[in-house]
Amino acid sequence: MRATLLILCIFLAACSGNKTTEVYPDVAEPVTIAYAKGFRMSDYGGFIILSILDVQDSTKELHRYYLVRGEGAGYARLPEAQTIHIPVKKVAALSTTHIGFLMKLGEENSLGGFGGTKYIYADAVRKRAEQGEIQELNSGDQLNTELLVALHPDVLFSYSTGNDAYDDQDKLSALRVHNVIISEFMETDPLGQAEWIKVFAAFYDKLDDGEKIFDSIVHAYTDLQHTVANSKRPLVFTGLPFKGEWTIPGGKSFAAQFLSDAGAQYIWDADKRTFNYPVSIETILHDAVDAPFWLNADGAQSYADILDIEPRCVHLKAFTTKQVYNNDARVGPAGGNDYWESAVANPQDVLSDLIHIFHPEVCADSIMHYYKRMDK
Protein backbone atom coordinates (compact mmCIF):
# COMPACT_ATOMS: atom_id res chain seq x y z
CA MET A 1 0.00 0.00 0.00
CA ARG A 2 2.70 2.42 1.04
CA ALA A 3 4.72 1.49 -2.01
CA THR A 4 1.80 2.19 -4.33
CA LEU A 5 1.34 5.60 -2.74
CA LEU A 6 5.02 6.25 -3.22
CA ILE A 7 4.82 5.46 -6.93
CA LEU A 8 1.88 7.82 -7.23
CA CYS A 9 3.71 10.65 -5.44
CA ILE A 10 6.81 10.29 -7.59
CA PHE A 11 4.70 10.35 -10.70
CA LEU A 12 2.66 13.36 -9.72
CA ALA A 13 5.85 15.22 -8.84
CA ALA A 14 7.38 14.28 -12.19
CA CYS A 15 4.31 15.42 -14.09
CA SER A 16 3.76 18.76 -12.40
CA GLY A 17 7.26 20.05 -13.16
CA ASN A 18 7.04 19.25 -16.82
CA LYS A 19 5.55 22.35 -18.51
CA THR A 20 7.74 23.80 -21.20
CA THR A 21 7.21 27.35 -22.28
CA GLU A 22 7.38 27.81 -26.01
CA VAL A 23 8.51 31.13 -27.39
CA TYR A 24 8.42 31.66 -31.13
CA PRO A 25 7.05 34.16 -33.64
CA ASP A 26 3.34 33.86 -34.29
CA VAL A 27 3.52 34.51 -38.00
CA ALA A 28 3.16 31.06 -39.43
CA GLU A 29 2.40 29.75 -42.85
CA PRO A 30 0.46 26.51 -42.62
CA VAL A 31 1.43 23.92 -45.18
CA THR A 32 -1.60 22.87 -47.21
CA ILE A 33 -2.64 19.31 -46.62
CA ALA A 34 -5.41 17.97 -48.83
CA TYR A 35 -5.78 14.26 -48.08
CA ALA A 36 -3.66 13.17 -45.12
CA LYS A 37 -5.22 13.21 -41.65
CA GLY A 38 -2.18 12.08 -39.67
CA PHE A 39 0.01 15.19 -39.69
CA ARG A 40 0.01 18.98 -39.82
CA MET A 41 2.85 21.41 -40.55
CA SER A 42 3.34 25.13 -40.00
CA ASP A 43 6.27 27.07 -41.42
CA TYR A 44 7.54 29.81 -39.11
CA GLY A 45 10.37 30.83 -41.41
CA GLY A 46 13.19 29.93 -39.05
CA PHE A 47 11.67 26.56 -38.30
CA ILE A 48 8.80 24.26 -39.13
CA ILE A 49 6.53 22.69 -36.57
CA LEU A 50 5.55 19.16 -37.55
CA SER A 51 2.65 17.67 -35.62
CA ILE A 52 1.85 13.97 -35.85
CA LEU A 53 -1.87 13.54 -35.27
CA ASP A 54 -4.17 10.68 -34.42
CA VAL A 55 -5.51 9.55 -37.81
CA GLN A 56 -8.87 8.69 -36.26
CA ASP A 57 -9.14 12.04 -34.52
CA SER A 58 -7.20 14.83 -36.22
CA THR A 59 -7.67 17.21 -33.30
CA LYS A 60 -5.45 14.99 -31.14
CA GLU A 61 -1.73 15.78 -31.41
CA LEU A 62 0.41 12.77 -30.53
CA HIS A 63 3.90 14.09 -31.19
CA ARG A 64 5.41 17.44 -32.11
CA TYR A 65 8.76 18.03 -33.76
CA TYR A 66 10.60 21.30 -34.41
CA LEU A 67 12.51 21.31 -37.69
CA VAL A 68 14.96 24.18 -37.31
CA ARG A 69 16.64 25.58 -40.42
CA GLY A 70 20.44 25.73 -40.17
CA GLU A 71 21.84 26.12 -36.66
CA GLY A 72 18.76 27.99 -35.46
CA ALA A 73 20.63 29.65 -32.59
CA GLY A 74 17.75 32.01 -31.87
CA TYR A 75 15.37 29.27 -30.75
CA ALA A 76 17.27 27.92 -27.81
CA ARG A 77 14.10 27.42 -25.83
CA LEU A 78 12.61 24.85 -28.13
CA PRO A 79 12.63 21.46 -26.39
CA GLU A 80 15.95 19.88 -27.30
CA ALA A 81 14.69 16.29 -27.63
CA GLN A 82 12.18 17.21 -30.35
CA THR A 83 14.39 19.68 -32.23
CA ILE A 84 15.92 18.52 -35.48
CA HIS A 85 18.19 20.72 -37.54
CA ILE A 86 17.35 20.67 -41.25
CA PRO A 87 18.32 19.89 -43.90
CA VAL A 88 19.28 16.50 -42.49
CA LYS A 89 22.43 14.87 -43.90
CA LYS A 90 22.30 11.36 -42.52
CA VAL A 91 19.08 9.53 -41.71
CA ALA A 92 18.07 6.10 -40.44
CA ALA A 93 14.79 4.39 -41.24
CA LEU A 94 12.90 1.33 -40.07
CA SER A 95 10.30 0.82 -42.79
CA THR A 96 10.78 0.05 -46.47
CA THR A 97 8.05 2.57 -47.33
CA HIS A 98 10.35 5.30 -46.01
CA ILE A 99 12.88 4.32 -48.69
CA GLY A 100 10.17 4.77 -51.33
CA PHE A 101 9.58 8.34 -50.16
CA LEU A 102 13.31 9.13 -50.02
CA MET A 103 13.78 7.82 -53.57
CA LYS A 104 10.86 9.90 -54.80
CA LEU A 105 12.68 12.94 -53.35
CA GLY A 106 16.04 11.80 -54.75
CA GLU A 107 17.48 11.69 -51.23
CA GLU A 108 18.08 7.95 -50.88
CA ASN A 109 21.82 8.52 -50.53
CA SER A 110 21.28 10.19 -47.17
CA LEU A 111 20.16 6.83 -45.77
CA GLY A 112 22.92 5.72 -43.40
CA GLY A 113 21.12 3.01 -41.44
CA PHE A 114 18.15 0.71 -41.94
CA GLY A 115 16.38 -1.98 -39.97
CA GLY A 116 16.18 -5.11 -42.11
CA THR A 117 18.42 -4.26 -45.07
CA LYS A 118 17.74 -7.62 -46.72
CA TYR A 119 14.20 -6.48 -47.47
CA ILE A 120 15.37 -3.52 -49.56
CA TYR A 121 14.28 -3.90 -53.18
CA ALA A 122 15.80 -0.93 -55.03
CA ASP A 123 19.08 -2.13 -56.55
CA ALA A 124 21.11 1.01 -55.88
CA VAL A 125 20.06 1.19 -52.25
CA ARG A 126 20.58 -2.52 -51.66
CA LYS A 127 24.07 -2.33 -53.19
CA ARG A 128 24.97 0.45 -50.77
CA ALA A 129 23.76 -1.72 -47.91
CA GLU A 130 25.76 -4.69 -49.19
CA GLN A 131 28.88 -2.53 -49.35
CA GLY A 132 28.30 -1.46 -45.76
CA GLU A 133 27.40 2.13 -46.54
CA ILE A 134 24.02 1.53 -44.98
CA GLN A 135 24.36 0.13 -41.47
CA GLU A 136 22.06 -2.79 -40.61
CA LEU A 137 20.23 -1.64 -37.47
CA ASN A 138 18.32 -4.80 -36.60
CA SER A 139 19.69 -7.70 -34.60
CA GLY A 140 17.33 -10.56 -35.21
CA ASP A 141 13.95 -8.97 -34.99
CA GLN A 142 14.91 -6.13 -32.68
CA LEU A 143 16.33 -2.67 -33.15
CA ASN A 144 19.94 -2.68 -31.96
CA THR A 145 20.12 0.62 -30.10
CA GLU A 146 23.90 0.56 -29.67
CA LEU A 147 24.48 0.43 -33.42
CA LEU A 148 21.91 3.20 -33.86
CA VAL A 149 23.64 5.49 -31.37
CA ALA A 150 27.04 4.76 -32.87
CA LEU A 151 25.66 5.64 -36.33
CA HIS A 152 24.49 8.97 -34.90
CA PRO A 153 21.91 9.88 -37.59
CA ASP A 154 20.32 13.34 -37.71
CA VAL A 155 16.92 11.69 -37.54
CA LEU A 156 15.40 8.22 -37.22
CA PHE A 157 12.21 7.57 -39.15
CA SER A 158 10.28 4.91 -37.28
CA TYR A 159 6.71 3.73 -37.28
CA SER A 160 3.95 3.73 -34.73
CA THR A 161 2.94 0.52 -32.99
CA GLY A 162 -0.63 1.66 -33.51
CA ASN A 163 -1.01 2.53 -29.84
CA ASP A 164 0.67 5.78 -29.06
CA ALA A 165 1.03 5.13 -25.34
CA TYR A 166 3.46 2.29 -25.95
CA ASP A 167 5.65 3.61 -28.72
CA ASP A 168 9.03 3.39 -27.09
CA GLN A 169 9.87 7.09 -27.10
CA ASP A 170 11.55 7.31 -23.72
CA LYS A 171 14.39 4.93 -24.36
CA LEU A 172 15.26 6.47 -27.73
CA SER A 173 15.16 10.04 -26.47
CA ALA A 174 17.33 9.02 -23.52
CA LEU A 175 19.79 7.74 -26.10
CA ARG A 176 19.50 11.16 -27.78
CA VAL A 177 18.11 9.69 -30.98
CA HIS A 178 15.75 12.08 -32.75
CA ASN A 179 12.98 9.62 -33.38
CA VAL A 180 10.15 10.69 -35.68
CA ILE A 181 7.04 8.53 -35.76
CA ILE A 182 5.81 8.12 -39.34
CA SER A 183 2.31 6.66 -39.41
CA GLU A 184 1.47 6.96 -43.10
CA PHE A 185 0.18 3.37 -43.14
CA MET A 186 -2.69 4.36 -40.88
CA GLU A 187 -4.20 6.74 -43.47
CA THR A 188 -7.35 5.31 -45.04
CA ASP A 189 -6.83 6.95 -48.44
CA PRO A 190 -4.06 6.09 -50.94
CA LEU A 191 -3.49 9.77 -51.67
CA GLY A 192 -3.44 10.48 -47.95
CA GLN A 193 -0.63 7.97 -47.58
CA ALA A 194 1.28 9.46 -50.50
CA GLU A 195 0.92 12.96 -49.06
CA TRP A 196 3.38 12.00 -46.30
CA ILE A 197 6.04 12.79 -48.89
CA LYS A 198 5.64 16.36 -47.65
CA VAL A 199 6.83 15.28 -44.21
CA PHE A 200 9.96 13.71 -45.67
CA ALA A 201 10.48 16.74 -47.92
CA ALA A 202 10.41 19.05 -44.88
CA PHE A 203 13.34 17.21 -43.32
CA TYR A 204 15.43 18.00 -46.42
CA ASP A 205 14.07 21.55 -46.45
CA LYS A 206 12.50 20.81 -49.84
CA LEU A 207 8.86 21.48 -48.99
CA ASP A 208 8.24 23.11 -52.39
CA ASP A 209 9.60 20.07 -54.22
CA GLY A 210 7.49 17.84 -52.02
CA GLU A 211 4.35 19.77 -52.82
CA LYS A 212 5.11 19.70 -56.53
CA ILE A 213 5.71 15.95 -56.52
CA PHE A 214 2.52 15.36 -54.59
CA ASP A 215 0.52 17.58 -56.93
CA SER A 216 1.69 15.55 -59.91
CA ILE A 217 0.76 12.32 -58.08
CA VAL A 218 -2.72 13.68 -57.40
CA HIS A 219 -3.02 14.78 -60.99
CA ALA A 220 -2.04 11.41 -62.41
CA TYR A 221 -4.19 9.54 -59.90
CA THR A 222 -7.36 11.53 -60.48
CA ASP A 223 -6.91 11.36 -64.26
CA LEU A 224 -6.79 7.57 -64.04
CA GLN A 225 -9.78 7.58 -61.72
CA HIS A 226 -11.82 9.51 -64.29
CA THR A 227 -11.10 6.98 -67.03
CA VAL A 228 -13.10 4.31 -65.18
CA ALA A 229 -15.64 6.53 -63.42
CA ASN A 230 -18.48 5.37 -65.63
CA SER A 231 -17.39 1.79 -66.31
CA LYS A 232 -19.23 -1.28 -65.11
CA ARG A 233 -17.82 -2.32 -61.71
CA PRO A 234 -16.71 -5.97 -61.44
CA LEU A 235 -16.82 -7.68 -58.02
CA VAL A 236 -13.50 -8.31 -56.27
CA PHE A 237 -12.28 -9.75 -52.99
CA THR A 238 -8.85 -10.08 -51.39
CA GLY A 239 -6.72 -12.23 -49.10
CA LEU A 240 -5.94 -15.85 -48.27
CA PRO A 241 -6.75 -17.85 -45.15
CA PHE A 242 -4.14 -18.41 -42.47
CA LYS A 243 -4.86 -21.22 -40.01
CA GLY A 244 -8.52 -21.21 -40.96
CA GLU A 245 -9.10 -17.49 -40.58
CA TRP A 246 -9.47 -15.21 -43.56
CA THR A 247 -8.46 -11.63 -42.84
CA ILE A 248 -10.19 -9.06 -45.02
CA PRO A 249 -9.87 -5.27 -45.24
CA GLY A 250 -12.74 -3.22 -43.85
CA GLY A 251 -15.12 -1.51 -46.27
CA LYS A 252 -13.74 1.92 -45.43
CA SER A 253 -10.09 0.87 -45.43
CA PHE A 254 -7.23 2.01 -47.60
CA ALA A 255 -7.37 -1.19 -49.69
CA ALA A 256 -11.12 -0.86 -50.28
CA GLN A 257 -10.61 2.76 -51.38
CA PHE A 258 -8.03 1.65 -53.96
CA LEU A 259 -10.41 -0.94 -55.41
CA SER A 260 -13.23 1.55 -55.63
CA ASP A 261 -11.00 4.18 -57.29
CA ALA A 262 -9.94 1.54 -59.83
CA GLY A 263 -13.53 1.03 -60.90
CA ALA A 264 -14.17 -2.26 -59.13
CA GLN A 265 -16.71 -3.16 -56.48
CA TYR A 266 -15.25 -4.59 -53.31
CA ILE A 267 -17.70 -7.25 -52.14
CA TRP A 268 -17.77 -5.90 -48.57
CA ASP A 269 -17.82 -2.20 -49.47
CA ALA A 270 -20.90 -1.68 -47.29
CA ASP A 271 -18.79 -2.48 -44.24
CA LYS A 272 -17.90 0.53 -42.07
CA ARG A 273 -14.57 -0.65 -40.68
CA THR A 274 -11.27 1.08 -41.56
CA PHE A 275 -9.05 -1.81 -40.46
CA ASN A 276 -8.54 -5.49 -41.32
CA TYR A 277 -10.62 -8.08 -39.55
CA PRO A 278 -10.94 -11.87 -39.66
CA VAL A 279 -13.94 -13.73 -41.09
CA SER A 280 -14.61 -17.46 -41.43
CA ILE A 281 -14.02 -19.40 -44.66
CA GLU A 282 -17.79 -19.95 -44.91
CA THR A 283 -18.33 -16.19 -45.27
CA ILE A 284 -15.90 -16.09 -48.17
CA LEU A 285 -17.39 -19.14 -49.89
CA HIS A 286 -20.83 -17.63 -49.58
CA ASP A 287 -20.11 -14.01 -50.52
CA ALA A 288 -17.25 -14.32 -53.01
CA VAL A 289 -18.25 -17.38 -55.00
CA ASP A 290 -19.16 -15.45 -58.15
CA ALA A 291 -16.64 -12.60 -57.90
CA PRO A 292 -14.55 -12.55 -61.10
CA PHE A 293 -11.40 -11.13 -59.46
CA TRP A 294 -9.30 -12.20 -56.51
CA LEU A 295 -6.45 -9.97 -55.30
CA ASN A 296 -3.60 -10.26 -52.82
CA ALA A 297 -3.57 -13.99 -52.17
CA ASP A 298 -0.34 -13.26 -50.26
CA GLY A 299 1.68 -16.34 -49.44
CA ALA A 300 0.53 -18.42 -52.38
CA GLN A 301 2.76 -18.62 -55.45
CA SER A 302 0.51 -20.85 -57.53
CA TYR A 303 -3.02 -22.25 -57.75
CA ALA A 304 -1.68 -25.48 -56.27
CA ASP A 305 -0.48 -23.49 -53.24
CA ILE A 306 -3.95 -22.07 -52.78
CA LEU A 307 -5.48 -25.54 -52.82
CA ASP A 308 -2.92 -26.72 -50.28
CA ILE A 309 -3.89 -23.94 -47.93
CA GLU A 310 -7.65 -24.15 -48.46
CA PRO A 311 -9.06 -26.89 -50.77
CA ARG A 312 -12.56 -25.36 -50.72
CA CYS A 313 -11.26 -22.44 -52.79
CA VAL A 314 -11.88 -24.66 -55.79
CA HIS A 315 -15.49 -23.45 -55.70
CA LEU A 316 -14.53 -19.82 -56.22
CA LYS A 317 -15.10 -18.45 -59.71
CA ALA A 318 -11.91 -16.33 -59.66
CA PHE A 319 -9.99 -19.53 -58.93
CA THR A 320 -11.49 -21.62 -61.72
CA THR A 321 -11.07 -18.80 -64.24
CA LYS A 322 -7.51 -18.15 -62.98
CA GLN A 323 -8.11 -14.50 -62.20
CA VAL A 324 -5.89 -14.28 -59.11
CA TYR A 325 -3.52 -11.30 -58.94
CA ASN A 326 -0.69 -10.78 -56.48
CA ASN A 327 1.45 -7.68 -55.92
CA ASP A 328 4.69 -9.62 -56.30
CA ALA A 329 5.75 -8.57 -59.78
CA ARG A 330 8.93 -7.05 -58.43
CA VAL A 331 10.60 -9.11 -55.78
CA GLY A 332 14.28 -8.87 -54.92
CA PRO A 333 16.66 -11.82 -54.39
CA ALA A 334 16.17 -11.92 -50.60
CA GLY A 335 12.42 -11.41 -50.72
CA GLY A 336 12.23 -7.61 -50.70
CA ASN A 337 9.02 -6.62 -52.48
CA ASP A 338 8.91 -3.28 -54.28
CA TYR A 339 5.19 -3.00 -53.50
CA TRP A 340 6.01 -2.50 -49.81
CA GLU A 341 8.76 -0.02 -50.75
CA SER A 342 7.73 2.36 -53.52
CA ALA A 343 3.99 1.75 -53.94
CA VAL A 344 2.97 4.03 -51.07
CA ALA A 345 4.81 6.94 -52.72
CA ASN A 346 3.40 5.98 -56.13
CA PRO A 347 -0.32 5.30 -55.73
CA GLN A 348 -0.93 6.30 -59.37
CA ASP A 349 1.13 3.26 -60.49
CA VAL A 350 -0.85 0.94 -58.22
CA LEU A 351 -4.07 2.39 -59.55
CA SER A 352 -2.87 1.97 -63.11
CA ASP A 353 -2.16 -1.73 -62.36
CA LEU A 354 -5.60 -2.22 -60.84
CA ILE A 355 -7.35 -0.55 -63.74
CA HIS A 356 -5.36 -2.74 -66.08
CA ILE A 357 -6.69 -5.77 -64.20
CA PHE A 358 -10.34 -4.72 -63.94
CA HIS A 359 -10.73 -2.75 -67.18
CA PRO A 360 -8.09 -3.93 -69.69
CA GLU A 361 -10.10 -2.17 -72.45
CA VAL A 362 -9.32 1.25 -70.91
CA CYS A 363 -5.56 1.05 -70.84
CA ALA A 364 -4.54 -2.05 -72.70
CA ASP A 365 -1.11 -0.71 -73.55
CA SER A 366 0.01 0.27 -70.03
CA ILE A 367 2.67 -1.84 -68.30
CA MET A 368 2.13 -3.53 -64.94
CA HIS A 369 4.23 -2.14 -62.07
CA TYR A 370 3.47 -4.16 -58.99
CA TYR A 371 0.75 -6.64 -59.83
CA LYS A 372 0.90 -9.77 -61.90
CA ARG A 373 -1.56 -12.52 -62.67
CA MET A 374 -0.88 -15.86 -61.01
CA ASP A 375 -0.14 -18.02 -64.03
CA LYS A 376 0.85 -21.38 -62.56
For residue 183, give the 3-state DSSP assignment.
coil
Q: Which of 55, 253, 243, 265 is nearest to 163 (CA)?
A: 55
What count of residues does the chain have? 376
Interface characters, 259-298, with other proteins (x: CB under 8 A): ----------------x--x--------------------
d(CA 120, CA 102): 13
Q: Which CB, 164 or 269, lies closer to other proteins?
A: 164
d(CA 270, CA 265): 10
* Whole-number CA gyration radius for the chain: 23
Interface characters, 164-203, with other proteins (x: CB under 8 A): xxx-x-xx--xxx---------------------------
Which of 79, 162, 292, 360 lies at the binding interface for other proteins (CB under 8 A)?
A: 162
d(CA 87, CA 69): 7
Which of 163, 208, 230, 333 lies at the binding interface for other proteins (CB under 8 A)?
A: 163
Q: Which CB, 29 or 146, lies closer to other proteins?
A: 146
Give the CA count within 13 Å in the CB-facing half-sphere of 257.
17
Q: Which CB, 58 or 265, lies closer to other proteins?
A: 58
Q: Which residues pair with 266 in a beta bridge?
A: 236
Q: Which residues pair with 237 in a beta bridge?
A: 294
Of 140-148, 257-265, 302-310, 342-350, the segment contacting other proteins by CB under 8 A is 140-148
Q: Is residue 145 a contact residue for other proteins (CB under 8 A)?
A: yes
- Residue 119: how many CB atoms within 10 A of its CB? 19
Q: Which CB, 143 or 288, lies closer to other proteins?
A: 143
Q: Which CB, 174 or 334, lies closer to other proteins?
A: 174
In the complex, the residues that contact other proteins under the rule CB under 8 A are 1-4, 6-8, 10-11, 14-15, 139-142, 144-147, 149-150, 152, 159-166, 168, 170-171, 174-176, 275, 278
